[in-house]
Amino acid sequence: MTGGPIRFIWMGDGFTPAAAYYQKLADEHYVIGEKYTLVEHHSRSANTHNHFFAQVADSWGNLPDHLLPEYQSPEMLRKKALIRKGFCDERSIVCASKAEALRVAAFIKPMDDYAIVIASEAVVKVLTAKSQSHKAMGAKAFAESKQAVFDFIDDLLTVKRGSTEQNAGQAA
Protein backbone atom coordinates (compact mmCIF):
# COMPACT_ATOMS: atom_id res chain seq x y z
CA MET A 1 0.00 0.00 0.00
CA THR A 2 1.28 3.45 -0.87
CA GLY A 3 0.07 6.81 0.36
CA GLY A 4 0.57 6.13 4.06
CA PRO A 5 -1.80 4.97 6.76
CA ILE A 6 -5.55 5.46 6.51
CA ARG A 7 -7.20 7.13 9.50
CA PHE A 8 -10.50 5.69 10.66
CA ILE A 9 -13.07 6.66 13.26
CA TRP A 10 -14.70 3.96 15.40
CA MET A 11 -18.46 4.42 15.06
CA GLY A 12 -19.55 1.79 17.57
CA ASP A 13 -20.42 -0.80 14.93
CA GLY A 14 -17.52 -0.35 12.53
CA PHE A 15 -14.73 1.87 11.29
CA THR A 16 -15.39 4.77 8.91
CA PRO A 17 -12.64 6.65 7.03
CA ALA A 18 -11.98 9.92 8.87
CA ALA A 19 -12.19 12.14 5.77
CA ALA A 20 -12.98 11.97 2.05
CA TYR A 21 -9.26 11.65 1.31
CA TYR A 22 -9.05 8.51 3.47
CA GLN A 23 -12.24 7.15 1.90
CA LYS A 24 -10.59 7.41 -1.52
CA LEU A 25 -7.47 5.60 -0.26
CA ALA A 26 -9.59 2.87 1.33
CA ASP A 27 -11.50 2.41 -1.93
CA GLU A 28 -8.20 2.05 -3.80
CA HIS A 29 -6.63 -0.43 -1.39
CA TYR A 30 -9.43 -2.54 0.09
CA VAL A 31 -12.08 -4.83 -1.36
CA ILE A 32 -15.65 -4.70 0.02
CA GLY A 33 -16.46 -7.94 1.79
CA GLU A 34 -12.83 -8.96 2.39
CA LYS A 35 -11.54 -9.40 5.95
CA TYR A 36 -8.65 -7.25 7.18
CA THR A 37 -6.76 -7.09 10.46
CA LEU A 38 -6.35 -3.64 11.96
CA VAL A 39 -3.34 -2.80 14.09
CA GLU A 40 -3.50 0.23 16.34
CA HIS A 41 -0.70 2.71 15.63
CA HIS A 42 0.52 5.07 18.35
CA SER A 43 2.33 8.07 16.95
CA ARG A 44 4.78 9.72 19.24
CA SER A 45 4.21 13.34 20.00
CA ALA A 46 6.25 16.10 18.45
CA ASN A 47 6.95 17.30 22.00
CA THR A 48 8.56 13.96 22.96
CA HIS A 49 10.59 13.96 19.76
CA ASN A 50 11.78 17.56 20.09
CA HIS A 51 12.45 17.25 23.80
CA PHE A 52 14.69 14.22 23.22
CA PHE A 53 16.81 16.14 20.71
CA ALA A 54 17.02 19.12 23.07
CA GLN A 55 18.17 16.86 25.92
CA VAL A 56 20.87 15.29 23.75
CA ALA A 57 22.10 18.80 22.86
CA ASP A 58 22.09 19.77 26.53
CA SER A 59 24.01 16.60 27.45
CA TRP A 60 26.54 17.26 24.69
CA GLY A 61 27.19 20.64 26.29
CA ASN A 62 28.21 18.79 29.47
CA LEU A 63 30.75 16.49 27.81
CA PRO A 64 34.28 16.77 29.15
CA ASP A 65 36.80 18.31 26.76
CA HIS A 66 38.62 15.04 26.08
CA LEU A 67 35.44 13.58 24.48
CA LEU A 68 34.77 16.49 22.12
CA PRO A 69 37.09 15.28 19.33
CA GLU A 70 35.00 12.08 19.08
CA TYR A 71 31.60 13.75 19.61
CA GLN A 72 31.96 17.08 17.81
CA SER A 73 28.26 17.99 17.84
CA PRO A 74 25.00 16.90 19.46
CA GLU A 75 24.08 15.18 16.18
CA MET A 76 27.33 13.20 16.21
CA LEU A 77 26.75 12.22 19.85
CA ARG A 78 23.22 11.03 19.08
CA LYS A 79 24.15 9.09 15.97
CA LYS A 80 27.20 7.42 17.49
CA ALA A 81 25.15 6.52 20.57
CA LEU A 82 22.52 4.94 18.33
CA ILE A 83 25.18 2.93 16.51
CA ARG A 84 26.93 1.81 19.71
CA LYS A 85 23.59 0.71 21.17
CA GLY A 86 22.64 -1.32 18.08
CA PHE A 87 20.18 1.05 16.41
CA CYS A 88 22.11 0.97 13.17
CA ASP A 89 22.40 -0.47 9.70
CA GLU A 90 25.50 -2.50 8.94
CA ARG A 91 27.11 -3.00 5.57
CA SER A 92 30.13 -5.23 5.01
CA ILE A 93 32.57 -5.12 2.14
CA VAL A 94 34.88 -8.09 1.63
CA CYS A 95 38.22 -7.08 0.16
CA ALA A 96 41.04 -9.10 -1.36
CA SER A 97 43.49 -8.30 1.43
CA LYS A 98 43.92 -6.49 4.73
CA ALA A 99 45.79 -3.71 2.92
CA GLU A 100 42.91 -3.26 0.49
CA ALA A 101 40.44 -3.21 3.40
CA LEU A 102 42.41 -0.39 5.02
CA ARG A 103 42.37 1.59 1.73
CA VAL A 104 38.61 1.02 1.29
CA ALA A 105 37.93 2.07 4.90
CA ALA A 106 40.00 5.22 4.41
CA PHE A 107 38.05 5.97 1.24
CA ILE A 108 34.63 5.41 2.88
CA LYS A 109 35.17 7.26 6.18
CA PRO A 110 35.04 10.83 4.78
CA MET A 111 31.72 10.09 3.07
CA ASP A 112 29.80 10.12 6.36
CA ASP A 113 31.16 11.90 9.43
CA TYR A 114 28.67 10.07 11.62
CA ALA A 115 29.36 6.52 10.40
CA ILE A 116 31.61 4.13 12.24
CA VAL A 117 33.94 2.42 9.77
CA ILE A 118 35.85 -0.65 10.97
CA ALA A 119 38.49 -2.51 8.97
CA SER A 120 39.12 -5.98 10.36
CA GLU A 121 41.36 -8.29 8.38
CA ALA A 122 39.99 -8.17 4.80
CA VAL A 123 36.51 -6.93 5.75
CA VAL A 124 35.27 -3.37 6.09
CA LYS A 125 32.14 -2.78 8.18
CA VAL A 126 30.22 0.46 7.83
CA LEU A 127 27.75 1.22 10.62
CA THR A 128 25.23 4.03 10.17
CA ALA A 129 22.61 5.19 12.67
CA LYS A 130 18.98 4.35 12.04
CA SER A 131 16.79 7.36 11.38
CA GLN A 132 14.66 8.50 14.30
CA SER A 133 12.29 10.45 12.07
CA HIS A 134 8.57 10.04 12.69
CA LYS A 135 8.24 8.20 9.40
CA ALA A 136 11.16 5.82 9.96
CA MET A 137 10.63 4.93 13.62
CA GLY A 138 7.35 4.34 15.42
CA ALA A 139 6.61 5.27 19.01
CA LYS A 140 7.82 1.99 20.58
CA ALA A 141 11.10 1.84 18.65
CA PHE A 142 11.70 5.54 19.30
CA ALA A 143 11.16 5.06 23.05
CA GLU A 144 13.62 2.14 23.05
CA SER A 145 16.24 4.07 21.08
CA LYS A 146 15.74 7.15 23.25
CA GLN A 147 16.35 5.11 26.41
CA ALA A 148 19.43 3.49 24.85
CA VAL A 149 20.86 6.90 23.90
CA PHE A 150 20.23 8.26 27.40
CA ASP A 151 21.94 5.18 28.92
CA PHE A 152 24.90 5.65 26.57
CA ILE A 153 25.20 9.32 27.59
CA ASP A 154 24.99 8.39 31.29
CA ASP A 155 27.84 5.90 30.81
CA LEU A 156 29.84 8.45 28.82
CA LEU A 157 29.42 11.08 31.52
CA THR A 158 30.03 8.43 34.21
CA VAL A 159 26.84 9.32 36.03
CA LYS A 160 24.20 7.06 37.51
CA ARG A 161 22.00 5.37 34.90
CA GLY A 162 18.78 7.33 34.55
CA SER A 163 20.35 10.73 35.24
CA THR A 164 19.99 11.99 31.67
CA GLU A 165 16.43 10.71 31.46
CA GLN A 166 15.61 12.27 34.84
CA ASN A 167 17.06 15.61 33.70
CA ALA A 168 14.97 15.33 30.53
CA GLY A 169 11.85 14.74 32.63
CA GLN A 170 12.56 17.74 34.85
CA ALA A 171 13.02 20.02 31.87
CA ALA A 172 9.74 18.88 30.30
Q: Is the dihedral of CA 154, 155, 159, 162 positive or negative?
A: positive
Of residues 121 and 161, the one with the higher pLDDT is 121
- Both 157 and 117 in one domain: the answer is yes
- Both 35 and 109 in one domain: the answer is no
Of 44-48, 73-77, 78-82, 151-155, which gets the smallest average pLDDT? 44-48
| DSSP state letter for 65 | G
- Both 24 and 94 in one domain: the answer is no
- Both 13 and 75 in one domain: the answer is no
Q: Is the pLDDT of residue 59 over 80?
A: yes
Work out the mean pLDDT of the chain and round it to a whole number. 88
- Both 126 and 158 in one domain: the answer is yes
- Both 52 and 82 in one domain: the answer is yes
Q: How confident is the model at residue 77 (pLDDT cuts 50, 70, 90)?
A: very high
- Both 32 and 51 in one domain: the answer is no
Containing 45, the helix (H) or strand (E) segment is none
Q: What residue numbers bound the domain in which 19 lies?
A: 1-41
Domain count, the chain: 2
Of residues 2 and 150, the one with the higher pLDDT is 150
- Both 107 and 139 in one domain: the answer is yes
Q: Is the pLDDT of residue 121 over 90?
A: yes
User: pTM higher than 0.75, yes or no?
Assistant: no
- Both 33 and 96 in one domain: the answer is no
pLDDT of residue 120: 96
pLDDT of residue 44: 67
pLDDT of residue 172: 47
- Both 84 and 32 in one domain: the answer is no
